[in-house]
Chains A and B, each alone.
Chain A
Amino acid sequence: MASGTRRSGLGWLWLPLVLCAAFLYLPILVLVVMSFNGGGSAYSWDGFSLRWYDELLHDDVLLESVVTSLGIAAGATVIATVLGTLLAVGLARHTRSRLLEAAAMAPAILPDLVLAIGLLSFFYAAGIPKSAGTVLLAHAAFGTAFVVAVVRSRLAGSDAALEEASRDLGAGALSTFVLITLPSIAPAVVAGALLVFTLSLDEFVIAYFTAGPTTKTLPITVYSMVRTGVTPEINALATVLVVVSVVVVVVAARAIRPKEKS
């Protein structure tokens, strides 16, 4: 991703590479720069200032929605990771049904809107009042599909004989899962969990449909703020999110790497 290093082997291809990188990262760069804007506009520069970070820190509505979203994301991640991992193992080792597999992964491919309307109708039909809890369940539902997809592909590449060897050496089904299967799919489980967490954190459509009247997730709050005009405060918030996600991804990548050796 280092667009500045022009390797001799790259030839003229460095040009599209730089253009692609610019296309991807320039908007983020602008966003970060403008978050330090001293003026009130998110579009015109008016001197360096940390003013909007200060405002952000004292914006109770926004902070509350961050807490709500983190809670929903954490809950959905736990449910989706546990269910998705078990489902993936079941699909990989105990059935040859392609239909079941497709059904398990469908929520990841279906348009969010379809899922959102479906979940809304379901909660309504089941008489479950909409709240932060229903958003959490909704995110767990589509998150499970993502975990299944990630863990399932890891299992496809792992040797089923390892589990048989464990059984052969006297381990029961549960010990085999904990001692052999889980360590071999751990990187995929972690990756799946991270994916669900980040997807849930900025998910808008499904949350908008399934949230209670007083439930304000971060994207919903930001959306209502943007409707009355973009302030650099939004930029400051986005910058914080960028930094947090980069840190999380780097830490996770480091945690996973040593186990990848095999």
Chain B
Amino acid sequence: MTTLLEVQEVSRSFGDVRALDDVSLSIAENEFFALLGPSGCGKTTLLRSIAGFEHPDSGAVLLGGADLLALPPNKRPVNLMFQSYALFPHLSVAANIAYGLKRERLAKAEIAQRVAEVLDTVGLGAMAERRPAQLSGGQRQRVALARAIVKRPRLLLLDEPLSALDRKVRAEMQLELKRLQHEVGITFVVVTHDQEEAMSMADRIAVLAAGRVQQVATPLELYRQPANLFVADFIGTSNLLPGPGDGEHLVVRPEAVRLVAPGEGRLEGTVADTQFQGGTSSVAVDVPGRERPFLVTLPGATEAVRGTSVGLAWEDAVVVREGLA
């Protein structure tokens, strides 16, 4: 895998707030990469720095080895899909998509052909002459995507691409984005606060908090080997227990837990709730001294009855340290 984008020790402060604090990342060619974190973690600042709308106080950003920060946004071989889509309301769908190609002064015939092709790719061939106001949320998102990929950028940045869509369309678009990324062969960098979204789409994820990179790993690694307490808590569902050492916590994933007879497990509790979800069942167990119920995921149905005492047993658990990187 060749490296496409290299972010080197980038820092950016707004007044007293360090939005980005010595962030380094490298993103490979053709990778689907996610920047994941809660709001205010610096992910959007990083994205906008790569696009050229923010200027880091220090550090470097290299694209294919060439300095990106020296170029204004309109000269960067990078395109951004805006969270609000930012479609031009006074232009038709086709004119929106052609906008970037016209700026490259391409021949009319080539522009028309590429616009038609990309409209086909995103399945909006019939909508070419519509105005953005006449489209649904999902269709607008496709236009925004088409407008960005038609430029054939080396890197496509997507700012919270699915946040404006309703739940059902969002699930569809997750698959769609992944398919498209394969089809067009462009490196995608997605910013999101939704860990499920990042986990389901990305090849690798950088978890950010307080302007710093907490961990960069594949979704599986993040889940199995979280680098610290923050990542463990942010990714997936976990039961956190204090210890074994000072400032350390034990992370027990719900599916690693078994229900056993009282007295035979590591913890005792009372079943507070059970939910049958088809393939799996969820059991919430109230453990004395714990604020949050202990969550257990079991394959198939469960015989656990609300109000009965159970023991909780597990083999796999990960020890993480408190605090941020």
Contact = CB atoms under 8 A, between A and B. Distances in A.
Contacts of A183: 90
B82 interface: yes
A168 B89 contact: no
A163 to B, nearest CB: 9
A169 B103 contact: yes
A180 B99 CA distance: 10
A184 B90 contact: yes
Contacts of A214: none
Nearest to B150: A169
Interface string A227-262: 000000000000000000000000000000001011
Interface residues of B, number: 26
Interface in A209-224: none
B74 A165 contact: no
A164 interface: yes
B90 A164 contact: no
A169 B99 contact: yes
Nearest to B76: A168
A171 interface: yes
Contacts of B80: 164-165, 168
Nearest to B151: A169
Interface string B113-149: 0000000000000000001010000000000000110
B84 A169 contact: no
Contact of A261 (B52, B73, B86, B133): B133
A259 B91 CA distance: 11
Nearest to A158: B89
Contacts of A169: 74, 79, 99-100, 103, 147-148, 151
Contacts of B314: none
13 contacts: A161-B84, A162-B88, A164-B73, A168-B52, A168-B73, A169-B79, A169-B99, A169-B100, A172-B74, A184-B89, A184-B90, A262-B89, A262-B90
Interface of B: 51-53, 72-75, 79-80, 82-84, 86-90, 99-100, 103-104, 131, 133, 147-148, 151
Given A161-B84, A165-B88, 8 more contacts: A165-B82, A165-B86, A166-B88, A167-B74, A170-B75, A170-B100, A170-B151, A183-B90
